[in-house]
Amino acid sequence: MTPKLDATASPSFAEAAAADATRGWIVAEDVFDPGRIHSTETLFVVGNGMLGTRGTFEEGHTGEWRATLVHGIFDDRQWAVTELAAVPDWTAFELDLAGERFTLESGETLHYRRTLDLRDGRLSRSVRWRSPAGRVWDLAFERFASLADPHLLCGRVTVTPVDSSGKVEVAAPIEPRPLTDGMDHWRSVATVAESGVAGLLVETLASRAQVAVVQRLSVSGAEASGAGAVDAAGRPAARVAWKAAAGQAACVTKVAAIGTSRETETPLQDATALLAVTPQDWDALVDANAAAWRRRWAVCDVIVEGDEEAQLAVRYCVFQLLISAPRNDERVSIGAKTLSGFGYRGHVFWDTETFMLPFFTFVQPELARNLLSYRWHLLDAARANAAGGGFEGARFPWESAMTGQEVTPPFLPDGSDPPKLIKIWTRDTSVHIGADVAFAVHQYWQISGDDDFMAQRGAEILFGTARFYASRAEWNEAAGRYEYTNVTGPDEYHEHVANNAFTSYLAAWNLRTAADVADWLGGARPEARVPGAPTAAERRSWRDMAAAIYLPRDPKTGLMEQFDGFFGLRNVDQATYAGRTQSMQALLGLEDVPRTQILKQPDVLMLAFMMPGLFSRDELARLDAYYTPRTDLEYGSSLGPGIQAILSCEVGDTEAAYGHFMRAARADLRDVRGNARDGIHGASAGAIWQAVVFGFAGLRADDEGWSVEPRLPEHWTRVAFRFSHRGEFKQVDIRRLPGVTSGVA
Amino acid sequence: MTPKLDATASPSFAEAAAADATRGWIVAEDVFDPGRIHSTETLFVVGNGMLGTRGTFEEGHTGEWRATLVHGIFDDRQWAVTELAAVPDWTAFELDLAGERFTLESGETLHYRRTLDLRDGRLSRSVRWRSPAGRVWDLAFERFASLADPHLLCGRVTVTPVDSSGKVEVAAPIEPRPLTDGMDHWRSVATVAESGVAGLLVETLASRAQVAVVQRLSVSGAEASGAGAVDAAGRPAARVAWKAAAGQAACVTKVAAIGTSRETETPLQDATALLAVTPQDWDALVDANAAAWRRRWAVCDVIVEGDEEAQLAVRYCVFQLLISAPRNDERVSIGAKTLSGFGYRGHVFWDTETFMLPFFTFVQPELARNLLSYRWHLLDAARANAAGGGFEGARFPWESAMTGQEVTPPFLPDGSDPPKLIKIWTRDTSVHIGADVAFAVHQYWQISGDDDFMAQRGAEILFGTARFYASRAEWNEAAGRYEYTNVTGPDEYHEHVANNAFTSYLAAWNLRTAADVADWLGGARPEARVPGAPTAAERRSWRDMAAAIYLPRDPKTGLMEQFDGFFGLRNVDQATYAGRTQSMQALLGLEDVPRTQILKQPDVLMLAFMMPGLFSRDELARLDAYYTPRTDLEYGSSLGPGIQAILSCEVGDTEAAYGHFMRAARADLRDVRGNARDGIHGASAGAIWQAVVFGFAGLRADDEGWSVEPRLPEHWTRVAFRFSHRGEFKQVDIRRLPGVTSGVA
């Protein structure tokens, strides 16, 4: 006879009873596959905008990549410059069940289910386990990083002996030296183990950032004995124990608090004080968190009907953006892999401004302002970066961390022959980053109407990046035009090219827009003294220069050429490589792929996406027909498919758009690119939101107004979302009614 | 009242009673300075030729670099190619003394003394500790890695409550994921915790090398309770406890066994079996180890009288060479930092053949044969290395590990600006390594008379390296000579030079000697079929080439020039930098130092050292007068001072020789170069032996005979040592008698 699980003790089981309420909100896994351990750790990340915690098991597992990553806690790493350092973990539960240590690596797993509830970011796992000695236990784990107070981290485990009785001992140790991709970054400063509170204060070895984690346990459903906190060799642990009887569930609640030197000079004291005033009341903690999430979803949700996978995917992407964005800190930004993995070591790329920021600009403008302010705070470093290369103005680094210095590794080891190093050129040649930031500033200004931000911070960014582009341009006397040579556009398969259309056009846009903003400032804020504001003569020269920047076009076809000479490269038919599981770069080799027309991601089409009025629909259709078959959307950059979906919508090919969209939607949920282990594809998540809103719903907005032009996939019956336009929330609700194409409420 | 410690329980105290027997044998420390923690960890390394264990404390310490390094256990490391991976530590003792955890970081240390007894490699530490609660404890720790069976590792701790009674709990955990310079290399394969045996089997992440460590505890002097082994979260530990009464000493003995996949397919089973048959009898283990050491010292000791510091230093260096040299394994060799630290990641340089090997060749020829065989086993990789650069023959890598591939990191981070990388050119241009190996082979052959080795292995090395030098030489038609351009000699401050005298002369020597050995083979072993043996024509061409290789000499002074153009470089007076604490390279900068005549270490003088007949005494005196003031002996290469001491002896300046000698002698014992933290200066240790034997005693030996020409420092009254010459041990005993200069027995 199998005893029934108590639904209140194991809330993940309550889900079935309310299938309608949870439909499209639950990411679930019914079998644990150790071969996919790292990608599912990413999949089940929890977070709250201050930190992210990978979905490793409370009890641990061989080979796991356990990590909690906190915004701004960087430390030096030999060779790789600087990285987010995984902080001491708050999730551990060691279970001693009648003398046997619980782990999925021993005994037999009779039942397993893991769910992430996107409504409130709660991760649950229920396990029925037969121990090596043959005793059966039901275990239910839950955890969440509170959105109500991001310093509060909550977990619990419910233990039910099914067919025996015995002593249960639960320990919750805190590891003082967690590893980051195998590397230690920490020294212990202090440990706490008294009055039931276990905690520690640690400090990074080089950057001297401090993090405190403190926690306490409580038991319900049983008479606890042996409760307390111990310091075992610098690894403090809270512990409880009880005598469990067959069929009787008991529950251990853990409340943990975190403090960092980024917010306070006394992280340990502050975390301890927070823990002291926080009631050990699970329901109250859950309710506060759920209420904060409800407020968030009320404006951020995107409803897709007629396609359950797409519905779940778009919510999953919005969830990932929300748990990654700093709410109370404008000196950090979102890394390419968010706070969910070691990939790119927490560094910030153009991914943030170009791919993720539109979601925030349209839906959470106060967070967009934080993220843009991160760049403003680092303008001095960008100016130094420009000056170091012999240029004027401000040059944002290709990879950015805390200081704004360039932190792109200059070399990376060649995977096939590690003693060899591959030179990473993006730090030198990917100069479009400045215009990408400027573009995001301008879009935020247009959509939010936040003139104060533009006057106080945004304009300074635009002036700095414009001045860089002015000094980086080269005058070609023979052709009578400005050129940008030795650059790399979005398509990183082609480095060191001249007259990359994307880079050149965005530079020209930046020069023109900076002059326009200077004009606006002069009229609207005559008192403003913006550092680096251009003189009237400079404005004129920026506009003249913008008009004289060369954009390559093929005289025969009128097609815009990605860069000088692209049309003369070898054409490779990707169809002949159907079924491949590697990028075209891996197949053709680092040296050959630049000699072909294979793109890592859209480049001219990326320009078309950012500048919707630049090409006519006809021109766009011709560009799409030319460039899309040449783009490695499958295994090239994960930045590609979401944007490609929008372009396919623009040219009226909704079926193709849906294909690209689902490829992006599955990057993390199904790990279709095989690299979800390294962390969430943050840019792809942002592109998914854009694909639904700008692509399928066809939203266009500027400072004067907005419109939608729906082109839903055949089987979608509804798309609904909200967005903020110049301080007011708007609602779009597109329904496919029998005989009706679309309607907007 | 302070109870007396029982001398048998704490043998380190026995030392005072036998001061005469221990004089010149004990390295001692009476105060622990946490600021020098890492250099003293190196200082107090123990080992046995299979492994080395740094002198970290049994109970641990914040910031420690705990490491046991085992020959051949390499793993990949991102960027830095491959490194010796620290294996699970066998030394830990966690002491819970009446409820208080012992650590030198809490309470008060009333007495502290640590000694390393070079006679048998036993490390002892006695501590009197007042706990935070005010209880006083006497603790005595001992450990050694057995030389009788290198798989046996022994430790014990004696615990005496001085003024109170209470429960003592001792745990000996084994950490499954030890860090190597902050990096994790391990996955757990299995743990053992039964019948009092705690152990584990771990595997390196990339190279899949397996290491097993198993151990058991026993107690004497008390009635133990709670003995056993537990597996705490994959960290197995043996544990014992007892009720201790004031003044009563009890002693916990640990015996550990290690097994590796380099020796067996079943390391865990083999280690467990060894542990099972090893009696838990401390005295027997100590005696077996001491007997093995006595046999070693009987031939290896060097006696210096009249200078206690020098006496201790030379024994310390011999000890370091002995615990680093593999006895039962000819596929590994000694890294630049032996098995004592993370410096150079366990890689093997010319340090081994040129600086350390003479000690083994003269005193432990069977170990010299092992070390030279390491190179012979890697000849195929050396041939591939030559072919990869477009050359013939065999080119040994500048840094070597398990496979014989070049493992010099191609770049290293610039310490002052980590994103910048410094290109490491030695892998490309330091081509003298092949001749260094060939020279060591030839010296071993001459001194040992081991014709079998030369016929079966040595000749193949000489032929391979000779053929490389033949193909690497460039014919200068105008000058009618062979040249070597773009090379780096021993002095690494000058890279990419042409006609480096050291490199060119050794290449010529190698070509000539290879031809001679081929002749010898034809006569002595006509049946031998040595791969790569030169034809008669090739022998002729090697000899012709050797005669035509250019060695730069200044026509005016007759001085040999270090390389083309050296005499034209800027002369910098090092005296004006007196009192510096950095290398001249650090002071002048990476870019400027090559423009000066400052040397990192002897170069032309190094050639003079290796080829004693090459220069007359007069020439040598002029070279010494010219080059020595230009050499950064203080903070340049640690390879310099020991060799410089020998040259100063040759030119009759014993006082200068003694200064250089003591600088080398203090590299680790006093950390005068400030980098002992990274590990023992293995080459310097070898040079110290050479400085006493070849320098002060003036030993000269070849295949025909030997002689000594003593020139002891003024205050030395005796130098005595043994060496093996063509299968017979010789004894040299030089005494300064009143009115007598020297005598040889």
Query: ipTM score of the complex?
Result: 0.74
Q: What radius of gyration, in Å, describes the C-alpha atoms of chain A?
A: 27
Over residues A485-523, the pLDDT tens digits come to 999 999 999 999 999 999 999 999 999 999 999 999 999
| pLDDT value for B526 | 93
pLDDT at B419: 63
Between CA A697 and CA A734 the distance in angstroms is: 8
Percent of chain B with pLDDT over 90: 87
- Based on DSSP, count helices (H) and strands (E) in chain B, helices before strands: 21, 30
Cα–Cα dist A742/B18, whole Å: 101
Question: Across residues A560-578, what is the average pLDDT?
Answer: 94
Residue B309: C-alpha distances to residues A576, B657, B663, B733 (Å): 76, 16, 12, 19
High-pLDDT (> 70) share of chain B, %:
96
CB contact under 8 A, B413 and A184: no
pLDDT band at A14 (very low <50, low <70, confident <90, very high): very low
C-alpha A408/C-alpha A419 separation (Å) is 19
B185 interfacial to chain A (CB closer than 8 Å): yes
Identify the CA nearest to A234 among candidates B216, B137, B239, B64: B64
Q: Two tokens at A532?
A: 């680096």
Mean pLDDT computed over B306-320: 97
* The pLDDT of residue A552: 87
- What phi, psi does A357 have (nearest 5°)? -60, -35
**A415 close contact with B: CB closer than 8 A:** no
How many CB atoms are located within 10 Å of the residue A612 CB?
13
Is residue B20's pLDDT more than 80? no
- Asked if pLDDT for residue A2 goes beyond 60, the answer is no
Measured CA to CA in angstroms, residue A723 lies from A310, A322, A358, A647, B417 at distances of 20, 15, 11, 21, 45
Q: Do B184 and A182 touch (CB under 8 A)?
A: yes
A397-411, B127-141, B413-427: which is most confident: B127-141
Which DSSP state fits B18?
Answer: G
pLDDT of residue B80: 64
Sign of CA dihedral B204, B207, B210, B213: negative
**What pLDDT band is residue A327 in, cutting at 50, 70 and 90?**
very high
For range B528-534, the mean pLDDT: 94
Q: In chain B, what residues touch A418 (CB-CB under 8 Å)?
A: 76, 78, 81
Interval B203-218: pLDDT, tens:
999 999 999 999 999 9
Q: Which of B57, B75, B79, B175 to mutate to test the interface with A (most CBs of A within 10 A)?
A: B79
Mean pLDDT of the region A569-588: 92
pLDDT of A592-650, one tens digit each?
999 999 999 999 999 999 999 899 999 999 999 999 999 999 999 999 999 999 999 99
The answer to whether B492 is a known catalytic residue is yes
Confidence at residue B459, expressed as pLDDT on a 0 to 100 scale: 98
The catalytically annotated residue of A330, A492, A561, A634 is A492
The helix/strand/coil state of B393 is coil
Span A582-588, mean pLDDT? Answer: 91
* Nearest C-alpha neighbor of A439 from the set A494, A361, A381, A364: A361
* Local structure of residue B704 (DSSP, 8 states): S
Q: So what's the pLDDT on residue A740? A: 52
- Grade residue A532 by pLDDT with cuts at 50, 70 and 90: very high
**A234/B60 CB distance under 8 A:** yes
A695-742 pLDDT, tens per residue? Answer: 999 999 999 999 999 999 999 999 999 999 999 999 999 998 765 554
The pLDDT of A449-477, averaged and rounded, is 97
Residue corresponding to tokens 């996939």: A713
Taking the C-alpha atoms of residue B186 and residue B192, their distance in angstroms, rounded to an integer, is: 17
Element containing residue A314 per DSSP (H, E)? helix A308-324
Give the neighbor-by-neighbor strand order of the sheet with A100-101.
A100-101, A94-97, A166-173, A235-244, A224-232
Which residues in chain B are closer than 8 Å to A231, comparing Cβ atoms? 101
CA dihedral B364, B370, B374, B375 (to 10 degrees): 60
Task: Quote the strand ranges of B470-571, DSSP E.
Answer: 474-476, 481-483
The one catalytic residue among B100, B492, B495, B561:
B492
8 Å CB contact between B234 and B101: no
Whole-number pLDDT of residue B16:
40
The residue behind tokens 């783009």 is A631
Long-range contacts of residues A607-616, Cβ cutoff 8 Å, at least 24 apart: A607/A501, A607/A502, A607/A505, A607/A506, A607/A560, A608/A647, A608/A650, A609/A643, A609/A646, A609/A647, A610/A354, A610/A439, A610/A506, A611/A505, A611/A509, A612/A650, A612/A700, A614/A505, A615/A560
Task: Evaluate whether B447 touches B726 at the Cβ level (below 8 Å).
Answer: yes
CB of A286 within 8 Å of a chain B CB? The answer is no
Q: Decide the pairing of beta strands A210-220 and B700-701.
A: unpaired
> Is A407's CB within 8 Å of B421's CB?
no
pLDDT tens column, A236-255: 999 999 999 999 999 999 99
The pLDDT of residue B7 is: 29
**A155 contacts A257 by C-beta, under 8 angstroms:** no
So what's the pLDDT on residue B329?
95
Contact B79 A413 (CB under 8 A): yes
B108 touches chain A (CB under 8 A): no
Comparing CA positions, the residue from B345, B337, B313, B318 lying closest to residue B42 is B337
CB-based contact (8 Å) between B669 and chain A?
no
Higher pLDDT, A737 or B341: B341
**Measured CA distances, A325 to A34, A369, A454 (Å):** 30, 11, 21
Contact B413 A231 (CB under 8 A): no
Q: Among all chains, which residue has been given the structure tokens 């890598």?
A: B397
Q: What is the average pLDDT across B527-550?
A: 96
pLDDT for the residue numbered B557: 83
pLDDT band with cut points at 50, 70 and 90 for residue A312: very high
Provide the 10 A C-beta neighbour count for residue B21. 12
Percent of chain A with pLDDT over 70: 96
Q: Does A173 touch chain B (CB under 8 A)?
A: yes
The closest alpha carbon to A233, from B61, B261, B291, belongs to: B61
Amino acid B414: pLDDT: 76
A411/B407 CB distance under 8 A:
no
Question: How confident is the model at residue A16, as a pLDDT?
Answer: 40
Secondary structure class of A197 (helix, strand, coil): strand
**Is residue B65 predicted with pLDDT exceeding 60?**
yes
Alpha-carbon gap, residue B452 to B444, rounded angstroms: 12
pTM across the whole model = 0.85
CB distance A233 to A176 below 8 Å:
no
Task: Tell me the mean pLDDT in the region A178-184.
Answer: 94
Q: CB under 8 Å to A497, separation ≥6 — which residues?
A: A486, A487, A488, A489, A562, A563, A564, A565, A566
Residues B10-39, mean pLDDT to the nearest whole number: 76
Residue A365 reports pLDDT greater than 80:
yes
Whole-number average pLDDT of chain B: 93
From A415-429, A651-665, B91-105, B187-201, the region with the lowest mean pLDDT: A415-429
CB pair distance less than 8 Å for A419 and B410: yes
> Distance (Å, rounded) from C-alpha B162 to C-alpha B658?
48
Q: What is the pLDDT of residue B738?
A: 66
Q: In this predicted model, what pLDDT tens digit does every residue of B497-508 receive, in sequence order?
A: 999 999 999 999
Q: What is the pLDDT of residues B552-582, one digit of tens each?
A: 888 788 899 999 999 999 999 999 998 898 9
Query: CB A305: neighbour CB atoms within 10 A?
Result: 18
Chain A positions touching B85 (Cβ under 8 A) are: none
The pLDDT confidence band at residue B744, using thresholds 50, 70 and 90, is: very low
Best A57, A79, A398 member to test B by mutation, with max B CBs in 10 Å, is A79
pLDDT of residue B225: 86
